Structure 1
Amino acid sequence: MNPVLALGQIVVSIFLIIAILMQSRGIGLSSAFGGDSSVYRSRRGVERQLLRFTVALIILFVGFSVLGYLQTN
């Protein structure tokens, strides 16, 4: 794997971990099965931007992984 791709993947993964940890508690599956009333509320403002940022980081991470795989083959 190209060292630039490896470094990019490491940096993206660190930011991805931080973005996931910054998200509000109770958004996941545990609140859906726990009967939490906030299941139906919409995400606004910072929560929405953080969600979009997290999705963008996931796409970047997968992209770096695919590029690294294609370079080795």
Structure 2
Amino acid sequence: MRALIFPIIQMVLSVLLITAILLQQRGSGLGAAFGGGSEVFRTKRGVEKILHYATIAIAILFFGNAILTLVLG
């Protein structure tokens, strides 16, 4: 039973992580990465900020679970 729980947790976390990433607002594209962006820097507020921190937390849980699965499996 214990060997089955970590892969199930990994699948749930992967779906949550994909959903959290896709729900975030899109940036200005690849041009901004090379200095072509002319947007003004703005801070995240409200739901956008919560979603940002939730994405980070889910990613940490995802990688932590992957390491636990590797070590214990």
TM-score calculated relative to the size of structure 1? 0.84
Any gaps of 5 or more consecutive residues in structure 1? none
Q: Which residue of 1 aligns with 2:39?
A: 37
Structure 1 runs of 4+ aligned residues shifted over 6 Å read none
- Unaligned stretches of 5+ residues in structure 2: none
- Across the aligned residues of Structure 1 and Structure 2, the Cα RMSD in angstroms comes to 1.9
How many residues align? The count is 70
Quote how far apart the aligned CAs of 1:19 are. 0.4
Structure with greater proportional helix content = 1
Are the equivalent residues in 1 in contact too, given 2:28–2:37 (CA < 8 A)? no
Name the SS of the counterpart of 2:45 in structure 1.
coil
Aligned identity (percent) is: 41
Per the normalisation by structure 2, the TM-score is: 0.84
